[in-house]
């Protein structure tokens, strides 16, 4: 059914006149009459009693009028909803990130929520290795990665540069040192993240390169649990600097530079190259681009 025909019928019923409906819709009276006739043929029902002096609706016409008004209200609701999306006063934004990268988002999300309080934001915890596929499949709009997926279907933007920090407890024997050599770490117990990542591979590779034993005797499922174990002096760890900044600031952990281990960690915002982004996602990109 054509919505235009319903709009013509609704106007005729409201104006109670074919001629006045034509004036309002900027159509000729014959065109209005033809539109009504086509609607009646489509529905298989007479909608207007043409034998009456004044314009009267048949029983079928009264039912169609009720639904025509509903359609008009729905169209108005649709236009208002789209306008809200364009104005960033409604909508939803889904971002994928792993545990450590989520911490980087906190300040940005706080600013975003203050600017667009009615947009629903969902940060979905996901393995970094799965985020590219989830973006391509449309399960996520934006993703945060610490590596370049090297996929032409995705756009990547470096938005922050972090580094791996070697951290100890304040009671550790190396805590007072500003710098150590990797060769001094062969006897340490490292608390490792049990999720495979490019940075875990870098650490393993560097220890192998310098022929230093790497004792990863304890693996934990979260960055938070690793921090707690290091705070208790149960071992040492390499963690993203942004994940331990608060603990370093409050003296709960100490960062010691390892001369041979200057590993940058680039935070990338990733999104599909060819799929149009929502207004909510575009607004987040603009916000992150402003720093």
Q: CA-CA distance, 30 to 144, in Å (whole number)?
A: 60
Give yes or no on whether 3-86 and 92-159+267-289 have one common fold: no
Extended strands (E) in 12-146: 48-49, 56-57, 92-97, 120-125, 142-145
What is the reported pLDDT for 90? 64
Question: What is the band of 83 on the pLDDT scale with cuts at 50, 70, 90?
Answer: low
Looking at the predicted structure, is the pLDDT value of residue 61 above 70?
yes
**Which pLDDT does position 89 carry in this prediction?**
57
- Please name the residue that has the structure tokens 């609704």: 10
Answer yes or no: CATH 3.20.20.140 is held by domain 92-159+267-289: no
CA-atom Rg of the chain in angstroms: 32
pLDDT of residue 84: 61
Give the Cβ contact number of residue 129 at 10 Å: 15
| Helix, strand, or coil (residue 50) | coil
- Residue listed under structure tokens 């054509």: 2
Q: Which residues of 275-287 are buried (b: 16+ CB within 10 A; e: fewer)?
A: eeebbbbebbbee
> Best-predicted range by mean pLDDT among 49-58, 75-84, 230-239?
230-239
Output the pLDDT for position 265: 87
DSSP 214: -
| 43 confidence band (pLDDT: 50, 70, 90) | confident
Q: Could you state, in order of their start, the residue ranges of all structural domains in the chain? A: 3-86, 92-159+267-289, 161-265
Q: 229-242 burial, b for 16+ CB within 10 Å, e for fewer?
A: bbbeeebbbbbbeb
CATH of 161-265 among 3.40.190.290, 2.40.50.140, 3.20.20.220, 3.10.580.10: 3.40.190.290
How much is the average pLDDT of 67-82?
Answer: 75
pLDDT above 90 coverage of the chain, percent:
42
Angle, alpha carbons 75-78-79 (nearest 5°):
90
pTM recorded for the entire structure:
0.61
Q: Both tokens of residue 144?
A: 């945060």
Residue 26 has phi, psi (to 5 degrees) of: 60, 40
Write down the mean pLDDT value for the chain. 88
Q: Is the confidence at residue 15, as pLDDT, over 80?
A: yes
Tokens describing residue 160: 């922050």
Average confidence (pLDDT) over 174-194 = 95
Interval 246-275: pLDDT, tens: 999 999 999 999 999 998 988 999 999 988
Domain formed by 3-86, architecture: Orthogonal Bundle (1.10)
Q: How many residues does the chain have?
A: 291
Q: What is the pLDDT of residue 237?
A: 97
Q: H or E segment at 284?
A: helix 279-289
pLDDT of residue 236: 97
């Amino acid at each position: 059914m054509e919505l235009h025909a319903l709009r013509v019928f609704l106007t005729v019923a409201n104006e109670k006149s074919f001629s006045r409906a034509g004036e309002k819709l900027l159509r000729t009276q014959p065109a209005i009459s033809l539109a009504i006739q086509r609607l009646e043929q489509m529905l298989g029902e007479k909608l207007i009693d043409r034998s009456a002096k004044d314009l009267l609706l048949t029983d079928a016409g009264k039912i169609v009028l009720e639904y025509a008004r509903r359609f008009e209200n729905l169209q108005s609701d649709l236009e208002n909803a789209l306008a809200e999306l364009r104005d960033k006063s409604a909508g939803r934004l889904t971002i994928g990130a792993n545990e450590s990268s989520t911490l980087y988002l906190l300040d940005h999300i706080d600013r975003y929520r203050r600017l667009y309080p009615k947009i629903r934001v969902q940060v979905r915890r996901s393995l970094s290795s799965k985020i590219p596929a989830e973006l391509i499949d449309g399960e996520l709009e934006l993703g945060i990665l610490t590596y370049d997926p090297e996929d032409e279907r995705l756009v990547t933007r470096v938005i922050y540069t972090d580094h791996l920090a070697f951290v100890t407890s304040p009671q550790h024997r190396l805590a007072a040192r500003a710098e150590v050599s990797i060769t001094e770490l062969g006897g340490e117990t490292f608390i490792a993240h049990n999720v495979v990542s490019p940075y875990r591979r870098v650490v393993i590779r560097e220890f192998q390169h310098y022929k230093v034993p790497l004792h990863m005797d304890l693996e934990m499922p979260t960055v938070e649990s690793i921090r707690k174990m290091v705070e208790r002096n149960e071992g040492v760890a390499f963690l993203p600097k942004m994940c331990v900044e608060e603990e370093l600031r409050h003296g709960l952990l100490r960062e010691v530079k390892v001369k041979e281990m200057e590993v940058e960690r680039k935070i990338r915002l990733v999104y599909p190259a060819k799929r149009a982004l929502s207004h909510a996602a575009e607004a987040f990109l603009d916000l992150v681009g402003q720093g």
